[in-house]
Structure 1
């Protein structure tokens, strides 16, 4: 029963300078949609979601959101000061949340890239940024100074406290997609908050950024995030809130992925051995991902000197839609034969196959007879200045040098349909699609990054709907807002960079990263916190986090290398898992702390189940640095003992599982220490954890 209990508890600032208009005549100039903004500030007063307290106890009056005399006021507080004249505000964008608005600006001349100032964040606010650390992935960063807001910030949550908890205001700034343009936030050395507005195609230009940065405020950061994403989805119409999407059925079953078990050497014999050893140990996988290594690819750079050959791996290209020779031989006749065998013999219910958004890392082989029908051509990616302002990625360095075989956008649905109809015909149930953010670098000549990403994403979703029985798609390497705000049907997305079993200093970072990223991603997708390995020095740490994630639970164990004591805390005998209700996210008192490097903060992650709640407490201090500091600081892991507090009030929306008569009393059970406490909702208990240890608390309301 204890096994069931844990399963139930379940950069450098200012990288850009203001751009000037492209000198040649533009092919396409995007105009604002029915709204002309001059170079003067637009003053608008609208209601906010945060009520102002009154001294006489009368009903609170709604605060106003307005851009006035160089200040942006939200929730009754000044969010930005020294706003320049070119900053604009479009208010009244949602009847249900009259405080919601869009910030924008108008330039003196059209260009494909602008950098506009919005002003300065006054003292008293602290912020949490989710920014693109690499082209593929977001990471969190906290701070208080405007200059410290990192380039490529895609979410900025801010908090300003008053005299009490009731006086705390939260503001949310979401740079979004506006027509053919994409916005991102960044601080500057001049202590200005800027937004970068770019199309990714020199021929797609505009003067106007009208709906570039969504702004909203409230007194509950989680409700604020949920409300804001729902508002945006209705206004934009290009993506959907997670509540409107079909949940893939495989998420409620334990899974196994072949990647860390074999890497690209995956083969039929190894797959069967892995499934058998897990099944015989009492943790039968009902969900399998056949990761990279099953496709027919070609490396066209074999003549390159040995020293350079390794970097060409990411430029390898797809030559055929069917499986390679490893899956055609004595072990199995073909991929269909393997899928049939593992479903019948090992009880696997769902099989996914891996592929990249462009077919393979380097796209498709342009000289392949099979690929000829899709009109492929070789193009060379161009990264945004924002992408290279933080961490460069070795895969993108390779693709920039050797090029990408891109499919004609008008043929991309045909390509996906051919690929997926073949996979479906051999019994495959869905796909994990990787390398998605590469599209943002290929917009030149295709109408820009937003238009190209949306074309591919919607074609992918339509093919999934046509060829597979469920919404069986995992999106990966897809943290650019180009993709996030183009996900109409996609319901699952990886929440961070890979679990890396051979990198000891990245384990605690992984847990903190997925939890913080889920604040944004969890409103649009079910975040996938990635696989882990059960026989690993951090297995308990990772396993506890997966129990709280609200997403899938799957491992990448090598065949025969398992710890079933860990697995049986997560997996029921029939292979099912007990998945929590929402995406696991940091508790409110952790949102603006650094649980990895400040030396004092524990990370608490909360979630709800049908009849109880859970909070996992993790000590992520001392084991590693955030990866953007790796090259600057040689980290030596140090065990640190941290003391903190746990309270039933750490769980948001606890009233969802309590009746109207509940008096606030709870039973709190600590899984590892087997201790039981009786606490009122706002009471707390003290706990201490050393580095890389955790505790899961099940919180049950006493009725």
Structure 2
């Protein structure tokens, strides 16, 4: 290898690249400083290699598709997924992405384009996910293109060799090299039928060599000299966490006079050093001059709640440092960059946080004091002249809103008409977020920096600008047979692509909003989209038909609440595809034996009567309404009747079916094909019910189900309508099937239905957005895959980001079933609890985590098992944080009335590294007014009371792999003057439950004339009722407290001080009920009165 001083050694399969030095010398600082978290290099044979590890400065890909350059200043093993995430630096002559993992596919392998001028690198922060096996992923793109987005194929470094790194130093720029031998392709990591992306043996050797990358600006001490002392040894330094975070963009509201910075430094327990922390920033300096500001250590540790969800306890010293950064940038569209430097004492050199966390500079975007209405051209350059633009009034405050339309050519014969229009080039933005069509039935999030380049068609995109404003773009479909999506062109313009199935010219519709927060802009476009969708439904008569069906069905709101709040069991992963009634009976008996009382049962796929036994599901069609004789010999009605008799706690029984009958639609020779008009679709492949007869077919089908005792359905494979190839079939079937299904489930099942695989744009806007009918349960993401380890954090991440869109639908997002006896069970359970949607399990018989189930559920006085759903749907609290950015996923939700209720924040570690973050009350929506305590579900402890204006660190959260917690901010009530003095309280709901705050129905506090504080609360169910009491430690339970349950005294032994928090009183009302008379009143709620003297 050529290691001459100052030269770049770059190896390709055929030898060194002659152009390497030239590329290096011409590499501009803008490219060097562009921070990414992942990338891949294209290798021979159409395969891809992921490069990852603790590359402290980054990886650089040269323009040729077989050349990769990398370096690590610390000489760490590059293939180490447990290290802090590296930065990746890309020259945009090399298109890049992640085609291998569902977390963030970006496949530009067939679109290699070279840019003559490098101005803004094409950067993206979407990342792959690496499991504990240290996998290097490869894939042959030519095989299974429709599946490559789902899982990918892997190499395990445990099975293949990797030469160790060797460290060098040149001009104080260290570099290293490694050689990786990848002898052969291993198979599938989770495809249902075990497909292998490439069955050929492949020999390849890749040499990764280093590149001297420009150091951080400014860079005093950014590279370590060999003579400098190592202050990062185990006994000296452990961890540094900053808020606002490094590597992220933080928007500063217009009324903020100064920004509070907080740093948590963890050092070895034996360290006696007086550590110094400084903020390095460019606020207020001429020509972006950077300057230093010193942090002050504060004694806030005793007031800070430290939440730790890790397999190994953290014994380090924790030191807290804060500072105030006053002032604002000189220009509205300017921003402030910052990083942290630190040292153990005055005699040691400064070290940079970036060198030890692999995190880029943090950025602050300051919003202007007054929101100004601007023209759309202020945000997008080069809008096509044939777009019609209308400024409209928004329903949200301080929002600019536009409606854009573009002509779409008509369909000709079976070919749909298409058109593409440029929406323009977004500018002055830093990050983007999009929801894309992962594949036909599902949506998924994408994130990036630089040019807008999603790998898939997007329906929603948002851009965070340098002035702190958010530009949200929404493409509307399902109107006039036009499908509209967002794409991009080579110049970075957002493009509108329309597909028209109608024989008349059509219109693509796009809504754009600009506001000071993503949530406001997002709500504005969704509200306008609903107006458009509702007007179209009214014009077609679909609206009146649904309203008439709902009137005839006399749908009761309480029925729907019982359906969505009940704890459910699904047979799919539990019992497999060879389904029989005996297996269902055995599974339900197992649940009963373990005292698991389910409310809802879902009988999933394979109960139906089908043709072509033994063939793939896609080739099997539904023959008749009745269940198959092999598994259900006495018919569906008999099975349902026996279930209801043996298990009276089960209130609702649902069955699965595909929207078109089954995966292969209707059997061409079956009873149904003889009784109803049919047609051939997608050529001769499928037989389907003709749209002229689909209303009658659904009416008869659901009438049969209802007469059999089935009162709900899970209707799957709805995306198959969007797979129809003929424009004629599409315009005849897509709306007709949706309307027939909606009316039938309203009329016969009182809207108890789960819509699945239905995130196609035509269904999102036509069936799920209009608010003229009861909310449906709608699956919110791809399936739960119990055997694919890397799928679990992605599953939760994807649902949280999809909910940014689906929260505005007339739907209850369903995050899918999961298993409680699974390594990721707690992670999934916590996510389901904060989702605000249904919870159903699919445990194998006898394999249950009873304690986990009790954390998710509670029993009512009437014996019903319910879940505790927050009042608002859970969603990601941060729109622009990518999957592999080494940041915790935060899901926020809320219980109660605005600004007086309880704010809930679920925190999840979706990475393979231990993560720590600092949280304050500002991270909890709805806590702007008043004083709060924050309680950790996992740790069972509360913070000290705080206000947002206090600017205190409230919580330091440390999560290991698979780590999670649910933090709830409870408003402090009081102080109240009682006999013993002043006291403040906060009713906590049911403290043993993940979302126990959602158990609170009503609450009232009064001070009686005798000087006692009366706290009256109505709860949804039984459990351990917790109350935060400010001076509990000095109070006597026997002398100063009294409790009543339904007016009867609560025994003293049911009341105790918490073992985890000295200020929390625990009242076991479930035990008190079980030991008492158990008198059921007219109400299904639990009424508790508690008195404090």
Match of 1:592 in 2: 880
Higher share in helix = 1
Match of 1:435 in 2: 717
Judge which range, 227-236 or 573-582, deviates more: 227-236
CA–CA distance in structure 2, aligned partners of residues 340 and 591 of structure 1: 47
Match of 1:680 in 2: 947
CA–CA distance in structure 1, aligned partners of residues 766 and 409 of structure 2: 30
Q: How far did residue 198 of structure 1 move? A: 0.3
CA–CA distance in structure 2, aligned partners of residues 62 and 593 of structure 1: 25
Match of 2:751 in 1: 471
The counterpart of 2:736, out of the listed 455, 458, 475, is 455
Give CA-to-partner distance per residue, 1:395-426, whole Å, 9 cap, x none: xxxxxxx8222211111111111111100001
CA–CA distance in structure 2, aligned partners of residues 229 and 367 of structure 1: 45
Give CA-to-partner distance per residue, 1:10-46, whole Å, 9 cap, x none: x346999xxxxxxxxxxxxxxxxxxxxxxxxxxxxxx
1:581 aligned onto 2:863: no
Q: How far did residue 276 of structure 1 move? A: 2.3
CA–CA distance in structure 1, aligned partners of residues 410 and 635 of structure 2: 59
TM-score, normalised to structure 1's length?
0.76
Give CA-to-partner distance per residue, 1:613-664, whole Å, 9 cap, x none: 2111100012xxxxxxxxxxxxxxxxx1111122332233347xxxxxx52x
Distance of aligned partners of 1:334 and 1:369 in 2 relative to their CA distance in 1, 3 Å threshold = closer
1:667 aligned onto 2:902: no
Distance of aligned partners of 1:593 and 1:60 in 2 relative to their CA distance in 1, 3 Å threshold = closer
The counterpart of 1:131, out of the listed 433, 436, 439, is 436
Match of 2:375 in 1: 66
Match of 1:176 in 2: 476
1:376 aligned onto 2:678: yes
Q: Output aligned runs, 1:243-642, within 5 Å.
A: 247=560, 249-299=562-612, 312-329=616-633, 333-346=634-647, 347-380=649-682, 403-442=685-724, 444-446=726-728, 448=730, 452-468=733-749, 470-487=750-767, 488=770, 489=773, 491-524=776-809, 525-573=811-859, 574-587=864-877, 590-594=878-882, 596-598=883-885, 600-610=886-896, 611-622=901-912, 640-642=913-915
Distance of aligned partners of 1:370 and 1:256 in 2 relative to their CA distance in 1, 3 Å threshold = same
CA–CA distance in structure 2, aligned partners of residues 232 and 408 of structure 1: 30
Q: For the Cα contact (< 8 Å) 1:535–1:561, is it kept in 2?
A: yes
1:84 aligned onto 2:384: yes
1:231 aligned onto 2:528: yes
1:186 aligned onto 2:487: yes
What SS does the aligned partner of 2:650 have?
coil
What SS does the aligned partner of 1:277 have?
helix
Distance of aligned partners of 1:236 and 1:443 in 2 relative to their CA distance in 1, 3 Å threshold = farther
1:204 aligned onto 2:473: no
Q: For the Cα contact (< 8 Å) 1:282–1:568, is it kept in 2?
A: no
Distance of aligned partners of 1:667 and 1:94 in 2 relative to their CA distance in 1, 3 Å threshold = closer
Q: How far did residue 481 of structure 1 move? A: 1.0
CA–CA distance in structure 2, aligned partners of residues 559 and 271 of structure 1: 10
Give CA-to-partner distance per residue, 1:280-303, whole Å, 9 cap, x none: 323211100000010001128x7x
Q: How far did residue 378 of structure 1 move? A: 2.5
What 5-or-longer segments of structure 2 have no aligned partner?
1-105, 112-252, 257-330, 332-367, 544-549, 974-1093
What 5-or-longer segments of structure 1 have no aligned partner?
1-10, 17-50, 163-167, 303-308, 382-401, 623-639, 656-661
Distance of aligned partners of 1:126 and 1:606 in 2 relative to their CA distance in 1, 3 Å threshold = same
Give CA-to-partner distance per residue, 1:287-330, whole Å, 9 cap, x none: 00000010001128x7xxxxxx5xx322211111111114543x
Distance of aligned partners of 1:523 and 1:414 in 2 relative to their CA distance in 1, 3 Å threshold = same
Match of 2:1069 in 1: none
Match of 1:692 in 2: 962
TM-score, normalised to structure 2's length?
0.50
CA–CA distance in structure 1, aligned partners of residues 107 and 404 of structure 2: 24
Distance of aligned partners of 1:275 and 1:108 in 2 relative to their CA distance in 1, 3 Å threshold = closer
Q: For the Cα contact (< 8 Å) 1:14–1:187, is it kept in 2?
A: no
Match of 1:146 in 2: 451
Distance of aligned partners of 1:521 and 1:15 in 2 relative to their CA distance in 1, 3 Å threshold = farther
Q: For the Cα contact (< 8 Å) 1:515–1:585, is it kept in 2?
A: yes
Distance of aligned partners of 1:132 and 1:107 in 2 relative to their CA distance in 1, 3 Å threshold = closer
Q: For the Cα contact (< 8 Å) 1:283–1:568, is it kept in 2?
A: no
Match of 1:35 in 2: none
Match of 2:921 in 1: 648
Give CA-to-partner distance per residue, 1:538-577, whole Å, 9 cap, x none: 0011011111010001100111111111111112133111
Q: Output aligned runs, 1:91-102, within 5 Å.
A: 91-92=391-392, 99-102=400-403
Judge which range, 351-360 or 274-283, deviates more: 274-283
Distance of aligned partners of 1:109 and 1:561 in 2 relative to their CA distance in 1, 3 Å threshold = closer
What SS does the aligned partner of 1:146 have?
coil
Q: How far did residue 258 of structure 1 move? A: 0.3
Distance of aligned partners of 1:614 and 1:641 in 2 relative to their CA distance in 1, 3 Å threshold = same
Q: How far did residue 429 of structure 1 move? A: 0.9
What SS does the aligned partner of 1:265 have?
coil
Distance of aligned partners of 1:369 and 1:426 in 2 relative to their CA distance in 1, 3 Å threshold = closer
Give CA-to-partner distance per residue, 1:338-395, whole Å, 9 cap, x none: 21222232120001110000000010012223322322222218xxxxxxxxxxxxxx
CA–CA distance in structure 2, aligned partners of residues 108 and 351 of structure 1: 46
Match of 1:117 in 2: 422
Q: For the Cα contact (< 8 Å) 2:721–2:730, is it kept in 1?
A: no
Q: CA RMSD in A?
A: 3.0
Match of 1:218 in 2: 515
Q: Output aligned runs, 1:24-63, within 5 Å.
A: 63=372
Distance of aligned partners of 1:194 and 1:15 in 2 relative to their CA distance in 1, 3 Å threshold = farther
Match of 2:1032 in 1: none
CA–CA distance in structure 2, aligned partners of residues 539 and 285 of structure 1: 18
Q: For the Cα contact (< 8 Å) 1:430–1:472, is it kept in 2?
A: yes
CA–CA distance in structure 1, aligned partners of residues 972 and 466 of structure 2: 32
Distance of aligned partners of 1:463 and 1:154 in 2 relative to their CA distance in 1, 3 Å threshold = same
Larger Rg: 2
Aligned length: 575
CA–CA distance in structure 2, aligned partners of residues 65 and 356 of structure 1: 48
Q: How far did residue 93 of structure 1 move? A: 6.2
Q: How far did residue 94 of structure 1 move? A: 5.6
